Amino acid sequence: MSTPGGFDFEQLRRMMEQLGFSSEDLNLDELMEQLQRLQASGGIRFGITPADQDPEAAWQTTITAARRLASDMGPDPSLSPKERLAIVDAERLAQSWLAPVTQFAASGTPPLTQRREEWIDTTSAGWRRLVEPIIEGLADALQRGTATPDDPQFADFSSMLAPVMRTSASLIYRDRLGKVLASVAGATLTGSEVGVSLAEGSAVTVLPANVAEFTRDLDLPGNDVMLYLLLREAARQRLFQGVGWLSPQLEALLAHYAREIRIDFEALSSQLDIGGEEVSLEDIVAVGEKVRGSFFKPASTELQLEILGRLEVLLALIEGWVDHVTNRAASNWMTNSAQLDEVVRRRRASAGPTREVFRDLLGLELRPRLVRDAENLWAAVEHRHGSAERDGVWQHPDLLPTARHLEDPLSYVHPAHRDEDDGDFDAELRKLLGE
């Protein structure tokens, strides 16, 4: 039951039961006295330690947990000097194939071979930049969901609980984050396969143990698979290095989306019936474990959908460009490039690392179909204008294609494509796009 002012007393009752107070004959004055005594004796912590409230210590705890989980995933040996040299040679070959098909230059940085725990360490700062706005957005959303009216007594109550709610939100998310990072570290084949640039620098990075596991059941030569993956990684690194605004733009969009997060309180409350006299740290963390799927509400507001659409398109344009450039390079030299391309597409469609990260950590469901549309568009731009103009589109975000252009590449490649003089070109381009 709620007052006309909107305060949900049923929610208050549930909160009180979790605090160890009886909900029968709730006396607000008595409740406030008990809360003030708790606060005077050291605050309402529910087993939350000072380290949990220290962002630096909390982050290190998360990374340590992810490393520990990753180390339990099976064999992950370091490469021998001979094996490492083979990858260096393959990366050099991949770069030579890419040079004629893209205007973006290689960094010249030697490639890296990493174990899973090393990948977590080198991407830690990038993950932190990516998810801290999400953690703040989650905390704000959780605090909004338990907000109290302007009555002074309720305001005191809210101010006492606010730090706990924020820390609890962080604990729930970071517990999931550690598990997702470990899972991605155990699955990702190259350093930036998740679709965003996370590590400092622009070295082509590969995780050999994961590649070996991935190729185990493929009817393709392992050396060809490794070379093709190095091609893709090298292309993506060239793009992120050559387009200085790309990573900041992705981070800004994600931060903006984070501010609009809404929590699925119905899903959370169904798991919060913990019982007992006090909510423990383990109880709080267990909530994140119990909630199936994401505890974010799906994007529904006009602003959320607009941000989500821009994110989807930008990520699709990145991966579509990588697909197109990689296949342009590989088709000149590898007779099985079409089969390798199909393997990558199937992997992307079957909830690979990219979809796992964006779904479980950010509450975003990305559509693999958009990547195919983006690849078609980049192919059309190159067909009409050449590779220099295709890559020149990345000079500024305002030049990039939109969702409408992905649906109709001709509207981007040649806005006046219905002109009579371009009939032959239209027929040729539609044939290229498989229409």
**Which residues, listed in sequence order, are joined to residue 2 by a DSSP beta bridge?**
8
**Residue 115, SS3 per DSSP:** coil
CA dihedral 108, 110, 115, 119 (to 10 degrees): -30
Check residue 30 and give its pLDDT. Answer: 54
Dihedral pair phi/psi, residue 285, rounded to 5°: -65, -35
So what's the pLDDT on residue 329? Answer: 97
- Condensed to tens digits (0 to 9), the pLDDT of residues 39-60 reads 454 444 444 455 555 778 888 9
**What does the pLDDT read at residue 291?**
52
Q: Which DSSP category does 78 fall into?
A: P
Better-scored residue on pLDDT, 408 or 323 = 323
Strand partners, 104: none
| Top-confidence residue, 196 or 189 | 189
Average pLDDT over residues 212-217: 91
Please indicate whether residue 19 or residue 139 has the higher confidence score (pLDDT): 139
Q: What is the model's pLDDT at position 4?
A: 35
* 215 Cβ contact partners less than 8 Å away, ≥ 6 residues apart: 222, 225, 226
pLDDT of 3 reads 37
Q: What is the pLDDT of residues 67-77, one digit of tens each?
A: 999 999 988 98
Say which range, 104-113, 190-199, 294-303, 326-335, has the weakest mean pLDDT.
Answer: 294-303
Q: Tell me what pLDDT residue 156 has.
A: 54
DSSP-derived letter for residue 360 is: I
Is residue 397 over pLDDT 60? yes
Q: 258: pLDDT confidence band, cut at 50, 70 and 90?
A: confident
Confidence of residue 130 (pLDDT cuts 50, 70, 90): confident
Q: Regarding predicted confidence, which is higher, 176 or 148? A: 176
What pLDDT, on the 0 to 100 scale, is given for residue 276? 41
Contact (CB, 8 A) for 258 and 134: yes
Q: Looking at the chain, how many residues does it have? A: 435
Name the more confident of 142 and 146: 142
Please tell me whether residue 2 adopts helix, strand or coil conformation.
Answer: strand
Q: What is the mean pLDDT of residues 81-95?
A: 96
Q: Does the pLDDT of residue 96 top 80, yes or no?
A: yes
pLDDT at 20 over 90: no
Closest-CA residue to 314 (of 232, 413, 243): 243
Tokens of 379: 């192919």
Over residues 402-410, mean pLDDT: 91
Residues near 69 by beta carbon (within 8 Å), at least 6 away in sequence: 178, 179, 182, 183
116-120, 250-254, 265-269 — which is least confidently predicted? 265-269
Determine if residue 287 is left, alpha or beta; phi over 0 gives left, psi from -120 to 50 gives alpha, anything else beta. alpha
Query: In the prediction, which pLDDT does 174 show?
Result: 81
The contacts of residue 64 (CB under 8 Å, 6+ apart) are none
| pLDDT greater than 90 at residue 228 | yes
What is the pTM (predicted TM-score) of this model?
0.78
Distance CA 132, CA 138 (A): 10
Lowest mean pLDDT among 95-99, 165-169, 210-214, 407-411: 165-169
What is the maximum alpha-carbon separation in the chain? 84
CB atoms within 10 A of CB 393: 18
**Segment among 110-124, 247-261, 310-324, 407-421 with least mean pLDDT:** 407-421
pLDDT, averaged across the chain:
78
What pLDDT sits at residue 141? 67
Using CA atoms, how far apart are residues 224 and 326, in angstroms rounded to an integer?
A: 13
SS3 assignment, position 312: helix
* Residue whose token pair is 């999400």: 134
Question: CB-based contacts of 219: which residues, under 8 Å, 6+ apart?
Answer: none
Three-state helix/strand/coil letters over the chain = CECCCCCEHHHHHHHHHHHCCCCCCCCHHHHHHHHHHHHHCCCCCCCCCHHHHCHHHHHHHHHHHHHHHHHCCCCCCCCCHHHHHHHHHHHHHHHHHHCCCCCCCCCCCCCEECCHHHHHHHHHHHHHHHHHHHHHHHHHHHHHHCCCCCCHHHHHHHHHHHHHHHHHHHHHHHHHHHHHHHHHHCCCCECCCCCCCCCCCCCCEECHHHHHHHHCCCCCCHHHHHHHHHHHHHHHHHHHHHCCCHHHHHHHHHHHHHHCCCECHHHHHCCCCCCCCCCCHHHHHHHHHHCCCCCECCCCCHHHHHHHHHHHHHHHHHHHHHHHHHHHHHHCCCCCHHHHHHHHHHHHHCCCHHHHHHHHHHCCCCCHHHHHHHHHHHHHHHHHHCHHHHHHHHHCHHHCCCHHHHHCHHHHHCCCCCCHHHHHHHHHHHHHCCC
Q: What's the average model confidence in pLDDT over 243-271?
A: 77
The candidate with the shortest Cα–Cα distance to 102, out of 317, 386, 387, 394, is 387
Residue 8 has pLDDT above 60, yes or no: no
Strands of 99-149 (E only): list them.
112-113
Residue 15 has pLDDT above 80, yes or no: no
363 falls in which pLDDT band (50, 70, 90)?
Answer: low
| Alpha helices by DSSP H, 186-280 | 208-215, 222-242, 246-259, 265-269
Q: Which amino acid is at 318?
A: I
